[in-house]
Copies of this chain bind each other. A is one copy, B any other.
Amino acid sequence: MTLDLVVPQESGDEARLAALTVLAQQVRELVDAVVLTDVPEDEVTAVTAEIVALADRLNATRRATPLPHEFGPDGRFRHLGNAVTGEANPHALPLVIERTADGVSRAEVTFRPAHEGPPGSVHGGVSAMILDHLLGDAVATSGRPSVTGTLSIRYRQPVPYGEPLVASAAVSRGEGRKTWADGAIVSSEGKTLVEATALFITPAQWMDGYQPTENG
């Protein structure tokens, strides 16, 4: 990671990016449709052929890498291609993070059937993925630029999909080049489902003047 990350790059115009975020959302809904469909085999095959043709149309002009880490027109950092938060990436939930005045990074999260692990529950790895990002976000926005050293996840209760949950994280302690953050996924009734703690390390060469970006 170097400073040139924060130089605006060519994402394309904002209207086109907005169209891409709508496309990504529709592809998320397509993913769940694939996971839940019960249509007959010939219809599955017919839809597959059309999906191939649509991917070809999108691939007619193809970037080498996802949409970049950059500052948006509102001056906020964004990474529309991010696997967890990227609004233009169908793999992303996407996690939409608000930051409170007291240093909490918070996201309302509704997992989907495509996130299933145990029957009727969210895959533990998906919970870990979300918490990894949220703890990193809390540390990045705290002004302690760091990379994740160790992430620990404690599974307390099954995490349901299809209902609104809250995930949050905040820095708990800093000491020299080390920073600790804690986070959790909590049900709408306030029950803690999954907890996380992470230790972040500031590389020596970042100790002087590097401005952090949150990027997973």
Q: Judging by beta carbons under 8 Å apart, are B153 and A150 in contact?
A: yes
Partner of A37, one of B38, B51, B58, B153: B58
Q: Which of B45, B81, B114, B148 has a CB less than 8 Å from the CB of A155? A: B148
Residues of B within 8 Å of A96, CB to CB, are none
Is A35 close to B, CB under 8 A?
yes
Closest chain-B Cβ to A193's Cβ sits at a distance in Å of 13
| Closest partner residue, chain B, to A32 (CB atom) | B55
Q: Please tell me how many copies of the chain the complex holds.
A: 2
A29 contacts partner chain B, Cβ-Cβ < 8 Å? yes
Q: Does the CB pair B83–A61 fall under 8 Å?
A: no
Q: Mark A40-81, 1 if CB is under 8 A from B, else 0.
A: 110111011011101101111111111111000000000001
Rounded to whole Å, the gap between the CB of A17 and the closest CB of chain B is: 9
Chain A: how many interface residues by the 8 Å CB criterion? 88
A24 within 8 A of B: yes
Contact of A47 among B12, B57, B149 (CB under 8 A): B57
Q: Is A191 an interface residue (CB 8 A)?
A: no
Residues B84 and A59 in contact, CB atoms below 8 Å apart: no
Return the contact of A153 from the options B40, B44, B65, B128 (Cβ within 8 A): B128
Q: Can you give 16 contacting A-B residue pairs, CB < 8 Å?
A: A15-B41, A23-B44, A23-B45, A26-B55, A27-B51, A33-B62, A35-B91, A83-B115, A83-B116, A83-B117, A84-B123, A117-B215, A123-B129, A128-B132, A147-B155, A151-B155
